[in-house]
Amino acid sequence: MSVAGKAGYKETSLGWLPESWQCVPQAQVATFNNGRAYKLSEWESEGTPVIRLQNLTGSGDVYYYSTLNLPDHQYVMKGDLLYMWSATFGPRIWKGGKAIYHYHIWKIDCSAKLDRLYMFHALSRFTDEMKSKTNGSTMLHLTKAGMEKEAIALPPLQEQRKIAAILTTVDDKLDVIARQIEATQTLKRGLMQMLFSRGVGTQDANGQWVPHAEFQDSELGQIPAGWAAEKLNSHVTKVGSGVTPKGGSDSYVSAGIPLIRSQNVLEGKLSLDDVVFIDRRQHEKMRNSALAPNDVLLNITGASIGRCGVLPADFDEGNVNQHVCIIRPEKSLSPHFLCHYLNSDIGQKQISKFQAGGNREGLNYQQIRSFDVPVPPVPEQDEIARILGCADEKIEVLTEKLEQYQTLKRGLMQKILTGEWRVKLSSVEPLAA
């Protein structure tokens, strides 16, 4: 619903806003404090933590200073608002204790007219737009002067706090779902480690699985006595990839035979959202790399090397380019079991072994055929694949739920941070204008 020209609204540089709202430069209500450019040689193993971009994005070691005498604005306390302005962009609320912050981060101090959490959500909404205003050719960055000039929609303080409370509630839900995804992924990794070394057992007369009691040494370590550890080559009918059609992307057609590329092969699944197509004539030229249902697809070059997925049993027809290898198992090896194994830490270590010593060109067919794989009885393979598939299904459901809440939040931010929806100050329910 557009509020342009509607009674109770006024036109501003940010569009139409409620008459009770202000539109002011951010410098008028907030101070952007620069961090310090600390030298690597100065970092120590204990003392006051140094917050770097890596620490705000969930990666990177923590470094310290033991002796510092800095002004108060150079320190960060729990709850402070930070903004990453170089390479990685976006606001964060600091959840740790007293720390100091690096040069590529601003600490934002809000005036009495600006609620800190409201500012956090306002910056979150406009970060993508701000990226278009970045500077630099080697490392993109925002300028402090530019940020200070950026306008902010400023409702009355009580309304700011209510808006922040609504959006924070959604963020809390997103955090819960993200933790559930992480916990399920951790569970799956643990299951893989156990199932590919201990198995699920043998079935008794009632169909119940009885754990294995005897184990043997193998090239893969200890495995159940009833298993084999063999080369992949002994259990496949095909290992090979395709080519990029002559003419590259110019040879693609709007509809036809799907051509699977490395970006379509994700960990444990396929994504055909951006699949390209080749015509029937080109497909016939590439008949040696024509796909079949239940083929295992493995990325063999580039940054996604090692990612593995399985074609659905009802897959019709398609082809692959040279960056994706087709592994077609015999009946002695379940494709889903093999896919889970190759995606596991054990399988990935074998892939990494062939990439050691600076050889990053990719995997060749001989290397793939030489993979050591565990070979339980097929019913046990199917049960292992079923268990891991259940974990994948839970992760998929949670991921879809996370995306739904992210979409909800984006829509909600568009409505309430512009005043199109006003909030009831006695509740957290948005009220249409």
Of the pLDDT bands very low, low, confident and very high (cuts 50, 70, 90), residue 430 is very low
Separation of alpha carbons 118 and 29, rounded Å: 12
Helix axes 116-131, 378-416, angle to 10 degrees: 100
Give the residue-averaged pLDDT of 325-351.
96
Inside any domain, residue 324: yes
Separation of alpha carbons 317 and 258, rounded Å: 7
Does residue 226 register a pLDDT over 70? yes
Question: How do beta strands 319-320 and 221-224 pair?
Answer: unpaired
Residue tagged 């962009």 (tokens): 89
Q: Are residues 238 and 339 in the same domain?
A: yes
Q: Are residues 235 and 146 in the same domain?
A: no
Q: Are residues 241 and 370 in the same domain?
A: yes
Q: Are residues 137 and 235 in the same domain?
A: no
375 DSSP β-pair partners:
228
Inside any domain, residue 405: no
Taking a C-beta distance cutoff of 8 angstroms, is the pair 226, 377 a contact? Answer: yes
Instruction: Provide the residue range defining the domain that includes 324.
Output: 228-375
End-to-end Cα distance, the chain: 9
Taking a C-beta distance cutoff of 8 angstroms, is the pair 106, 36 a contact? Answer: no
Q: Are residues 146 and 234 in the same domain?
A: no
Taking a C-beta distance cutoff of 8 angstroms, is the pair 251, 245 a contact? Answer: yes
Q: Where are the alpha helices (DSSP H) in 328-377?
A: 335-343, 345-353, 365-369
Inside any domain, residue 426: no
**324 in the Ramachandran plot: left (φ > 0), alpha (ψ -120 to 50) or beta?**
beta
Q: Are residues 117 and 236 in the same domain?
A: no
Six-digit token string for 215 = 């184990």
Inside any domain, residue 242: yes
Inside any domain, residue 403: no
Cβ partners under 8 Å of residue 235, min gap 6? 329, 330, 332, 333, 373, 375
Residue 83: other Cβ atoms inside 10 A: 23
Does residue 386 register a pLDDT over 90? yes
Taking a C-beta distance cutoff of 8 angstroms, is the pair 327, 292 a contact? Answer: no
Inside any domain, residue 123: yes
The domain tally of the chain equals 2
Q: DSSP character for 424?
A: P
- Domain end, chosen from 151, 173, 205, is at 151
Does residue 359 register a pLDDT over 60? no
Q: What is the CATH number of the domain that holds 114?
A: 3.90.220.20
Closest by CA position to 396, among listed 181, 193, 182: 181
Q: Are residues 242 and 335 in the same domain?
A: yes
Inside any domain, residue 219: no
Does residue 71 register a pLDDT over 90? no
Q: Are residues 242 and 369 in the same domain?
A: yes
- Domain end, chosen from 130, 151, 172, is at 151
- Domain end, chosen from 121, 151, 181, is at 151
Q: Are residues 238 and 366 in the same domain?
A: yes
- pLDDT, tens digit, for every residue of 134-180? 565 455 778 899 999 999 999 999 999 999 999 999 999 999 999 99
Q: Are residues 121 and 232 in the same domain?
A: no
Q: Are residues 242 and 332 in the same domain?
A: yes
Least confident range from 86-90, 290-294, 303-307, 391-395: namely 86-90
Residue tagged 């896919």 (tokens): 339
Of the pLDDT bands very low, low, confident and very high (cuts 50, 70, 90), residue 258 is very high
Inside any domain, residue 169: no
Q: Where are the beta strands (DSSP E) in 146-244?
A: 151-154, 202-203, 209-210, 215-218, 221-224, 228-231, 236-241
Q: Are residues 234 and 346 in the same domain?
A: yes
